[in-house]
Amino acid sequence: MTHTHHGIDYVELPAPDRQAAKAFYGAAFGWSFTDYGPADDPAYVGIQALDGEGEVGGLDPAGTPGTSGPLVQLWSADLEATRQAVLDAGGSVVDDIFAFPGGRRFHFTDPAGNRLGVWSES
């Protein structure tokens, strides 16, 4: 995994219920995880890079989910399909697909209440 100087390198999502977070992000986005500790109640869960080369984030059991603070934006090649995957996995769309300079995006909350966005160039 390559690290970029001053680039965003790792994002921790508040996840008091790590199993629920793994189920949601696995179903909605195909993410994989590494459990640190017992599989049924890991002390920490790492989010694997999509290419399998290292970790890009984690599920923070001590964090408090919320809708304020920095907005993490994911990218999608098919915004409508990703929106549906979020809904099917148990997330809620809070700002439906809208245009912005550079593309389109939507915002959602995960089952814990964290607010994220997904964008596409088209």
Residues 35-52: tens digit of each pLDDT: 998 878 888 999 999 998
44 burial level (CB within 10 Å; 0-12, 13-18, 19+): middle
- Span 11-120 CATH architecture: Roll (3.10)
- What per-residue string of b and e applies to 58-81 under the rule 16 or more CB within 10 Å gives b? bbbbeeebeeeeeeeeeebeebee
- pTM of the full predicted structure? 0.88
> How many other C-beta atoms can be found within 10 angstroms of the C-beta atom of residue 8?
10
Question: What tens digit of pLDDT does each residue of 83-103 get?
Answer: 999 999 999 999 999 999 889
For residue 42, the model assigns a pLDDT of 84
Spatial distance between the Cα atoms of 116 and 76, rounded to a whole number of angstroms: 13
